[in-house]
Amino acid sequence: MELGRAPENPAPEDPGLPGVPSPVAPREAFSRLLHRLSRPEARRGKGRDSVFQDLGALIEAAECDGLFEGSGASTCELLGEVAKALGRLAAPPKEDGSRGDGRPAVAETAVDVGLLFLKLLRKIQTGKTSLGCSAWKTGLHHLAGPVYLFAVAHSVEQPWTSPRSQEVAREVLSLLLHVSDCGSVAGFLRGENEDEKGRLTAIMGLLKPNLAKESWKNNPATKHVFSWTLQQVTRPWLSQHLERMVPPSLLISDDYQTENKLLGIRCLHHIVLNVPAADLLQYNRAQVLYHAVFNHLYTPEHELIQAVLQCLLDLFPILEKGLQWKGDTTRPTTQCDEVLQLVLTHMEPEHRLLLRRTYARNLPAFVKRLGILSVRHLKRLERVIIGYLEVYDGPEEEARLKILETLKLLIQHTWPRIPCRLVVLLKALLKLICDVARDPNLTPEPVKTALLAEATNCLILLDHCSQGQVKGLLAKIPQSCEDRLVVSCIRNVQQAS
């Protein structure tokens, strides 16, 4: 007897047993299983195994029509609720700082849950090729969101995953994309075609209760699922979901833990890169993002500072679109000026190498961004440049190379103000050249060559903007200096046209 057709006088049967030849059996069985999944014993060994075993048997025994169709309370809706309950069972415990938090058990549960999801998805795949099953689309509609959330939460290495759970979760995600006729996660979220609605709205609806201020830390996987999902949605689709994406990103970035701050800043940076300026300027969103990110500049964490400065540098062009400058007035100071001023304040006394390298790495972009307006910060830039050129920065010399790049850009953009600083800058560059040339062991040859070349280029630029004064000041050095590398640099300056 087919599952989709009931007899006129059905005999009373236990609807909780899988494979019962009755159209209401799957629906009532799922209802009972959902009730069992909500009990505390479903999280423990035997109770959990029993529920999983019964659910697996029910899925295997049911035909496509019986699994996804039914009268009254929709079987598909119940199936969706069961999928959500399974996802909650596989969720990692709340982070409380304890060691014995049961995370290995979470990975084991995730494997079992993933195998159940694979069975359900294979049923949908069978229904797609079967002429007798027309309800697989409804089943996929209710299952896609919970299955996606589970797969993303467990598909990459995390404290609550194991190699086996990651493998199963990736297989679940791959099969979900296949049965959804999607070539990528991005297509699954936004829709593969222009006239096709993606599933991002439904997925964010499932995530929303867990992304509230009071609840987002209850499940450590939530922030990672949100962040990973956000990264898959790019321009121009992201602007349609801006109201759903900005608040959780701000919430995560405002946490006291550096890991969460970094994750939130990366989410905000992705929004800045993939949302049109007009949408970000609307309702003052860009200013809100700026102030949220700017506050992290006071954190002494080099990875966070790097993420913050990259985000701000991409946000400046958007913020400055609304500025109007009339040629007869002084140009107004911008957020770029404000950030550079704070960065230079932090750079001067900074002694930690990682932070020094991070600041120096981003300094050229600020000078390039401001151009001739860098003269507003020229005195402080001069002090930072001279101070950083004096300090050895390790074998790679990243900080000093970036400072030389900054100096080169500064000379090019603010050359009318450079001649009065000629002697100070010339002494700093010559000292650097001598220190590098006399360093026999610490600096690798390629790095040493790059440092000498950059310093020589800066000397040539100084000579150009001072109308040949540098050549005159360096004229007697080759006669008295015995160091081959130093003399070579000086001659390169003298021979430059």
pLDDT digits (tens, 9 = 90+) for 355-400: 999 999 999 999 999 999 999 999 999 999 999 999 998 889 999 9
Q: What pLDDT shows up at residue 482?
A: 77
In order of 83, 149, 178, 198, 202, the CA distances from 181 in angstroms are 21, 18, 5, 12, 18
Q: What pLDDT shows up at residue 44?
A: 67
Rounded to an integer, the average pLDDT of 240-259 is 94
Q: Which of 100-114, 376-390, 437-451 has the lowest mean pLDDT?
A: 100-114
Q: What pLDDT shows up at residue 57?
A: 85
User: Does residue 215 have a pLDDT over 50?
Assistant: yes
Chain center to CA of 328: 43
User: Does residue 452 have a pLDDT over 90?
Assistant: yes
Chain center to CA of 37: 34
State the first-to-last Cα distance of the chain, in angstroms, to the nearest integer: 96
Q: What pLDDT shows up at residue 474?
A: 84
Mean pLDDT taken over the chain: 85
Q: Which of 170-174, 190-194, 425-429 has the lowest mean pLDDT?
A: 190-194
In order of 391, 454, 457, the CA distances from 438 in angstroms are 15, 17, 20
DSSP state of 42: G
DSSP state of 365: H
Cα separation, 368 vs 365, whole angstroms: 5
Q: CB-side exposure of 218: number of CA atoms within 13 Å?
A: 10
User: Does residue 4 have a pLDDT over 60?
Assistant: no
**Residue ranges covered by each domain of the chain:** 14-91+104-181
The angle subtended at Cα 248 by Cα 243 and Cα 250, nearest 5°, is 100
- Tokens coding 241: 């979901």
Rounded to an integer, the average pLDDT of 181-203 is 86
User: Does residue 165 have a pLDDT over 90?
Assistant: yes
Among residues 333, 362, 363, 359, the alpha carbon closest in space to that of 346 is found at: 359
* Residue 236 preceded by cis peptide, ω within 30: yes
DSSP letters, 407-430, are: HHHHHHHSGGGSGGGHHHHHHHHH
Cα separation, 338 vs 318, whole angstroms: 15
User: Does residue 65 have a pLDDT over 70?
Assistant: no
Q: Are 168 and 113 in contact (CB under 8 A)?
A: no
User: Does residue 17 have a pLDDT over 60?
Assistant: no
DSSP state of 93: P
Cα separation, 372 vs 462, whole angstroms: 16
Cα separation, 263 vs 311, whole angstroms: 12
User: Does residue 18 have a pLDDT over 70?
Assistant: no
